[in-house]
Amino acid sequence: MKQVGTTLLFCCLTVLAVTLLCGCGSKSKVRVLKLAHALDVTHPVHRGMVYMAERLAEYSSGSMRIDIYPGGQLGAERELIELLQIGSLAMTKVSTAPLEAFVPDMKIFGIPFVFRNDEQRWKVLDGPIGKRLLLAGEPFFLRGMCYYDAGSRSFYTKDKAVQTPADLNGLKIRVMKSITAVAMVKALGGSPTPIPWGELYTSLQQGVVDGAENNPPSFYLSRHYEVCKHFSIDEHASIPDILLMSTVVWKSLSPQEQQWLQRAVDASVVYQRKLWKEATQEALEAVKAAGVEVTYPDKQPFIDAVRQMHDSYKGTSLYTLMQEINAIE
């Protein structure tokens, strides 16, 4: 999407945002922020955002409120991003994948095995690199507020476990609509097939695809384990969720309101990451009980298989970013 460029349009958007999101009217003087996302209400990320709303109400002594619209009530991720850009929505949660169209360096999260381990991943996300990426969408009216833990993605399949890259040969694997995700599955020998998340269960049932890749809680909560009985924990990519805010709305807040909101966001990050760790363990136990074979293949053959993909980024900003990440111990 092209950057909105005129001062007049920006002013109109600001007026629209203030009108729509200022609150419940002059009588109550409550600032209401609308937050919409596509997740189920049982999801750890949704629960983290509910915690954020509770903390904001507490910190602001009731003068600010977040109304949450889960389950895709107001649209899919791409549509919600566009609503943020025009100021019709205050906040949303998205995977970094759809942000690639707005912030090309977000592709870094889809590159397989770019992080050595979870400890290094959080050092990157919580450090200068992560903060720089959060604000990289501001020219497009998108302000990243924080990263929520979405774990690591692994392959799950219907008929056989993926123990080596060779096991992906001939398999149609569902991926997100992401150039990086498509390239990753191709590099590993599979046939990438972009399919919307809401259509995946039926696509697996009908044989449109042979498998998919995601984190344990999503595999469990989507009930994909009813169709796919093999979950191979290769942890090829760690794609975080990002809490996004419309810069139109952010700039309409007073410095005090911005401080309250950021404090609530930071509190929710700590809470959500704890929830995620618990949900991952619970999900793995639940799918095992449902008859899923959970295996832990040797990662090195997968790392070797994508080395050429890594080299293909030489001479680009992504390769520079990969080197920055690799330098972090």
Q: What tens digit of pLDDT does each residue of 9-21 get?
A: 443 444 344 444 4
Which helix H or strand E contains 14, and what residues bound it? helix 7-21
CB 184 within 8 A of CB 236: yes
Instruction: Look at 286 and 104; give whichever has higher pLDDT.
Output: 286
Q: Has residue 1 got a pLDDT over 60?
A: no
Q: Which CATH class is domain 7-104+112-148+240-279?
A: alpha beta
Q: Which residues of 249-260 are buried (b: 16+ CB within 10 A; e: fewer)?
A: bbebbeeebeeb
Q: Has residue 156 got a pLDDT over 50?
A: yes
What per-residue confidence (pLDDT) applies to 7? 35
Average pLDDT of the residues in 193-210: 94
What per-residue confidence (pLDDT) applies to 40? 85
Alpha-carbon distance values, 308 to 22, 54, 319 (Å): 51, 47, 12
What per-residue confidence (pLDDT) applies to 253? 98
CB 115 within 8 A of CB 151: no
Task: Indicate the range of 13-27, 91-105, 137-151, 256-270 predicted with least confidence.
Answer: 13-27
What per-residue confidence (pLDDT) applies to 25? 39
Alpha-carbon distance values, 40 to 80, 106, 144 (Å): 16, 25, 22
Average pLDDT of the residues in 61-68: 98
Q: Give the residue among 228, 214, 215 at the shortest CA–CA distance from 276.
A: 215
Average pLDDT of the residues in 220-249: 96
pLDDT for 251-283, tens place per residue?
999 999 999 999 999 999 999 999 999 999 999
Q: Which two tokens stand for residue 306?
A: 């994508």
What per-residue confidence (pLDDT) applies to 9? 43
101 CB contacts (<8 Å, ≥6 apart)?
1
pLDDT for 288-299, tens place per residue?
999 999 999 999
Phi and psi at 135, nearest 5°, equal -95, 0
DSSP state of 327: T
In whole angstroms, how large is the CA radius of gyration of the chain?
A: 20
Model confidence band, residue 183 (pLDDT cutoffs 50, 70, 90): very high
Model confidence band, residue 28 (pLDDT cutoffs 50, 70, 90): low
**What is the distance between the alpha carbons of residues 305 and 164, in angstroms, rounded to a whole number?**
10
Model confidence band, residue 177 (pLDDT cutoffs 50, 70, 90): confident
CB atoms within 10 A of CB 321: 20
Model confidence band, residue 77 (pLDDT cutoffs 50, 70, 90): confident
Q: Roughly what angle, to the nearest 10 degrees, separates helices 255-289 and 44-59?
A: 150
DSSP state of 3: P
Same fold, 7-104+112-148+240-279 and 153-238+281-326: yes
Alpha-carbon distance values, 313 to 118, 317, 319, 320 (Å): 23, 8, 5, 9
Average pLDDT of the residues in 139-146: 96
CB 171 within 8 A of CB 191: yes
Handedness of CA 17, 19, 25, 28 (dihedral sign): positive
Give me the CATH topology for the region 153-238+281-326: D-Maltodextrin-Binding Protein; domain 2 (3.40.190)
The domains of the chain are located at 7-104+112-148+240-279, 153-238+281-326
Model confidence band, residue 319 (pLDDT cutoffs 50, 70, 90): very high
Q: Which two tokens stand for residue 271?
A: 């809470």
**What is the distance between the alpha carbons of residues 242 and 269, in angstroms, rounded to a whole number?**
11
Average pLDDT, the chain: 90
**What is the distance between the alpha carbons of residues 234 and 255, in angstroms, rounded to a whole number?**
44
